[in-house]
Structure 1
Amino acid sequence: MKESDISSFPGIPFLLVHLAAFLGVAWLGISGVADQNVVPVVVALIAGLCLVVMLGGYYMVEPNQAAVLSLFGKYIGTSKDQGLRWNNPFYNAKKISLRTRNFESSKLKVNDLEGSPIEIASVVVWQVVDSAEAVYNVDDYESFVHIQSEAALRAMAINYPYDQHEEGKISLRSHAAEISKHLTEEIQDRLAQAGVRVMEARISHLAYAPEIAQAMLQRQQASAIIAARTRIVEGAVSMVEMALSELSKRNVVDLDPERRAAMVSNLLVVLCGERGTQPIVNTGSIY
């Protein structure tokens, strides 16, 4: 069911006319009683009853709000005119907020692509764009948004690993923009039938489950140490290669293979060691 607009009468002018009609009916009834004439009294009672029934046609529409009107269960249309409005008194007006809203899901425990248990939560920014679908396609559109958003978060989380172990592979922790886009699309697909537009969805909490958190922390630390050591060794080899090349090019010293190997070993120890080395100065012959 799609939303359709319906016109309504401005409430303030209609209310003034309504009050004037009440005064006229009251005067007519009082005159009939004074003249002991039954006809004006009966007319005043009938007109007064009609005016009282017409009071049920007033409703208020605030900014960024819509009134979904129905007649005996049949959808008539949606009024978005702001202020005090009047329409058929037999219409039932259900107010729907069109404001932008957001909510944070509860922390969900799921398994990522590699089977590791993780805790994940998200923040979803959404807005009702079709009031008729929000009212008539689902029982409670707010509850529907919350439940379907958490279901979409679960479905998305199992498609990615927590951390990036291979170059170019998308992970939950390292690719926030891509994950946010995928999550937004996943939630929007589930909420389209409820007349809701998802404006943004992003991860607000991401962590390993407590039972494996310590082990995964050690794994991350080991990966960081290996990466740092690899970088240090690469730099050290380049510096040793440059030193030997410069010594050879400038004819500073001529080293045989054995002493060349010893020099390389000493330079690597100096460059790759975690602590400062203590040099030993040889004041005699190099042999």
Structure 2
Amino acid sequence: MLQNIEQKEIHPINGMIMLVVITIGLILSVGLIILGSILLEQNNSVLGGIILAIGIILVVIFPIMYGGLKIVGPNEALVLTLFGNYYGTILKPGYYYVNPFVSYNNPIFNKAYINRNKIENNDKTTVIPDITPKKTVSLKSITLNNGTQKVNDVLGNPIIIGAVVIWKVTDPTKAVFNVDNYAEFLSIQTDSTIRNIARKYPYDDLDCEDENMNEKTLRSSSLEIANDMKDELIKRVQIAGLDIEEVRITHLAYAEEIAAAMLQRQQASAIIAARQKIVDGAVGMVKMAIDKLGEEEVVVLDEERKATMVSNLLVVLCSNKDTQPVVNSGSIY
């Protein structure tokens, strides 16, 4: 069962003050050892032995205390544990002194250390995280480019889609303790979210043969669909203390196996649309010509001649090549 750990901000002692105190204490402890040795040489064994023992103990203690000095940079946090228990989180930048026995916790740093060891052992399959490994947890905005992946849209057409995610850590305690590696966790959830959202929509209107299908398409409504991805991803990574600032689709195309066929389909649809527009315009022009001739009584045509005229005008107007006029020198009848 996942243990819910609430973030506890701590305000440690100023590190510069403790650095001076520890250094002076170390110097004094060395002086005590020297003083105890002198007293022992003067046959003052009791006092000399006590002072010498105290000096030796302090020489051992003060160097250990140096381990409590910690540096936290701007927009960084340091999550600490003490003997396996959560100790606290330092959220403000500065130079601090904490319990020297506390240990830092950052899965990104630990993962990078393991990966470096594996790479030294010629393990070529290991991937180092994109985040710079540090002992502190970065609170800065970070860009995740997860590359592209092949998914099927709502009509089953294979497409290649890629997205970029702008994110940051808002709760470093949850990021450290609730998931094993929050960067890898985000990457996996991003892949899953892109796949789940992309399969709900068609690539474009050419595939929407059902009139009741959602009007949104991946190509024409990329901004709205990216917002849907952002909303779903926020819910998925909330447990890890992450905040998603922005999601944008960076790559969208048909898969290679159907790209040529879909291009032909798009060209065919464009040709059909153009022909429809040409025919509509030609019919309107023919109707206008016949009506104009009838209204002004320029020539009176019977139904057969009107049909012939309509046929000839439609051929001239709808043809995709220049027509060659033929002059009739005889009677039209």
- Relative to the length of structure 1, the TM-score reads 0.90
Letter of the structure 2 residue corresponding to residue 72 of structure 1 = F
Does residue 147 of the first structure (1) align with residue 188 of the second (2)?
A: yes
Partner of 1:212: 258
Does residue 183 of the first structure (1) align with residue 237 of the second (2)?
A: no
CA contact (8 A) 1:188 1:197 kept: yes
| Residues 1:212 and 1:41: Cα distance change in structure 2 (over 3 Å) | same
Post-superposition Cα deviations, 1:197-253, rounded to whole Å, max 9, x if no partner, equal 112222222222222222222222211211121122222223333333444444444
Does residue 138 of the first structure (1) align with residue 179 of the second (2)?
A: yes
Q: Distance in 1 between matches of 2:52 and 2:296?
A: 126
User: What is the deviation of 1:265?
Assistant: 2.2
Letter of the structure 1 residue corresponding to residue 282 of structure 2 = A
Q: Which moved more, 1:258-267 or 1:186-195?
A: 258-267
Q: Distance in 2 between matches of 1:216 and 1:33?
A: 92
CA contact (8 A) 2:26 2:63 kept: no
1:198-237 map, 5 Å: 198-237=244-283
Partner of 1:13: 17
Post-superposition Cα deviations, 1:3-27, rounded to whole Å, max 9, x if no partner, equal 2311122222321222222222223
Q: Indicate the SS of the match to 2:7.
A: coil
User: What is the deviation of 1:75?
Assistant: 1.4
Partner of 1:52: 63
Partner of 2:132: none
CA contact (8 A) 1:179 1:202 kept: no
1:160-179 map, 5 Å: 160-165=201-206, 166=208, 169-179=215-225
Letter of the structure 2 residue corresponding to residue 31 of structure 1 = L
List alignment gaps of at least 5 residues for structure 1. none
| Residues 1:258 and 1:57: Cα distance change in structure 2 (over 3 Å) | same
| Residues 1:57 and 1:278: Cα distance change in structure 2 (over 3 Å) | same
| Aligned counterpart for 2:75 among listed residues 59, 64, 82 | 64
CA contact (8 A) 1:236 1:272 kept: yes
Q: Indicate the SS of the match to 1:172.
A: coil
Letter of the structure 1 residue corresponding to residue 38 of structure 2 = A
Sequence identity of aligned pairs in percent?
45
| Aligned counterpart for 2:139 among listed residues 98, 107, 110 | 98
User: What is the deviation of 1:284?
Assistant: 5.0
Does residue 81 of the first structure (1) align with residue 96 of the second (2)?
A: no
Does residue 158 of the first structure (1) align with residue 199 of the second (2)?
A: yes
Q: Distance in 1 between matches of 2:86 and 2:8?
A: 9
Q: Which moved more, 1:227-236 or 1:238-247?
A: 238-247
Does residue 272 of the first structure (1) align with residue 313 of the second (2)?
A: no
CA contact (8 A) 1:59 1:93 kept: no
Letter of the structure 1 residue corresponding to residue 8 of structure 2 = S
Q: Indicate the SS of the match to 2:179.
A: coil
Q: Distance in 2 between matches of 1:164 and 1:228?
A: 17
| Residues 1:77 and 1:242: Cα distance change in structure 2 (over 3 Å) | farther
Does residue 123 of the first structure (1) align with residue 127 of the second (2)?
A: no
User: What is the deviation of 1:124?
Assistant: 1.8
Partner of 2:153: 112
Q: Distance in 2 between matches of 1:131 and 1:240?
A: 74
Q: What is the root-mean-square deviation in Å for CA atoms of aligned residues?
A: 2.1
| Residues 1:237 and 1:8: Cα distance change in structure 2 (over 3 Å) | farther
List alignment gaps of at least 5 residues for structure 2. 41-47, 106-135
Partner of 2:114: none
